[in-house]
Amino acid sequence: MPAIIIAIRFLLVSLTLTAITYYAMSIFAAARFFSTQPAKQDFDPRPVTIMIPLHGTDFKAYENYTQFCRQDYPEYQIVFGVCDYRDSSIPIVQKLIADFTDRDIELVICSDTIGHNYKVSNLQNMLRRVKHEQIVIVDSDIRVGRDYLRRIVPPLSNGRVGLVTCLYRAAEAATYAGRLEAVGLTAEFAPGVLSAWLLEGVRFALGATMATTKTKLGAVGGFQAIADYLADDFMLGKLISKAGYEVHLSDYAVETVQAPVGFLCMIKHQLRWARSTRKSRPIGYLGLILTYGTALSLLNIVANHASTFSVLLFALALVVRLTMAWLIGVHWLGDKILKKHFWLVPVKDILSFLIWCLSLVGRKVEWRGRVFELVDDGKIGRLAKSKRTRFGTTDWPNPSIHHKRVLRIKDGD
């Protein structure tokens, strides 16, 4: 037998066994995380500002935003921001302001830029209207419960905590592609986060929720420090961690509400995420090969011509993999979509492995209709091209055409 064949078989067996170990470690990490959360204590609920940057109309946007207006929290402000006065999300925010007159809600419309990441520029423009020291940055497709602020904000009272972030699950998935992506959030992504928490602590943030303070944000260079990065959430958490603060992973899980997506759109999203991770954490991304036990054990079956040992190894890998997915995704994170479509887990595993292989090459990613080129450390390079969106071109408004301004839209303004 050629030595190369023996080496390949040995490598596949070793990688599969490592993946099984990773699955077991993820279960241990999750059990420890959810069982060692500190008891809820009374705290002085200091005022907080929720920042929600917008670009176009998100799926079920009004329903999602109303949840932020119904928080069981004594004093808070909500600041929305757009870069273009033609943005289709503006009427939704105006309706929100009209329907919740008792809430302090503002809409910032400003085309100023500080870098290639227009979401971060949007946040910088919104910061001018933020009233409170404590801020909670939230992606525009997130849905929360009434107790969201009461669960997310308290850790900030600890001076060692620089940022609070949290895991998330999908609220709904109307298409097959959407279900595949939804399954991956709690059955694949969450175990990786929990494993990182166990091994080295959380040194990054997740865009679903990033709670911090203006002082600590300024201490790491403000939004300007992350204005050229595609994975701005990852970088903000990294900078705060490097500054000596703790990034606290909350046991509160929010929900992401995505529009029905087709298979091609889902692949583009996954590929953008993968390539961004590869550029941000190159060594860690290569290490992800050790998490694809389902695909590796299948390749091992092929390489060993379906030998008894290879089939048994596949069965073991699949059992431990599915156990991890059920315990973390369904039992601890309460993912109803995963519970209903649990059979998609092996399918998503194989798809994720193929995307990982594909993402090892190439720099271009598509994000909100724009095609960017990634450079070192996950920064965004030149804008390759732009497409049409619901409110015109996706190019940032030309300052010579659109007035740069900050608008506060409320009744009577």
Measure CA 291 to chain center: 19
pLDDT given at position 398: 37
pLDDT-derived band at 147, boundaries 50, 70, 90: very high
pLDDT-derived band at 369, boundaries 50, 70, 90: low
- Could you tell me whether strands 142-143 and 104-109 are parallel, antiparallel, or unpaired per DSSP bridges? unpaired
pLDDT given at position 3: 86
| Alpha-carbon span 344 to 220, nearest angstrom | 41
pLDDT given at position 42: 67
What DSSP assignment string belongs to 29-63?
HHHHHHHSPPPP-------EEEEEE--SPPTTHHH
Q: What is the mean pLDDT of residues 45-68?
A: 95
> What interhelical angle do 263-280 and 344-359 show, nearest 10?
50
Where are the domains positioned within the chain? Answer: 40-261
Q: What is the mean pLDDT of residues 52-66?
A: 94
Q: Residue 392 pLDDT > 50, yes or no?
A: no
pLDDT in tens, 305-352: 999 999 999 999 999 999 999 999 999 999 999 999 999 999 999 999
pLDDT given at position 376: 74
| Alpha-carbon span 109 to 36, nearest angstrom | 43
pLDDT given at position 120: 95
Q: Residue 164 pLDDT > 60, yes or no?
A: yes
Q: Residue 217 pLDDT > 50, yes or no?
A: yes
Q: Residue 401 pLDDT > 50, yes or no?
A: no
Backbone angles phi, psi at 149, to 5 degrees: -65, -40
* % of the chain exceeding 90 in pLDDT: 73
Q: Which one-letter amino acid corresponds to residue 5?
A: I
The pLDDT mean for the chain works out to: 89
CATH class, domain 40-261, is alpha beta
| Alpha-carbon span 292 to 289, nearest angstrom | 6
Q: Residue 410 pLDDT > 50, yes or no?
A: no
pLDDT given at position 116: 87
pLDDT in tens, 257-281: 988 889 998 998 899 888 888 888 8
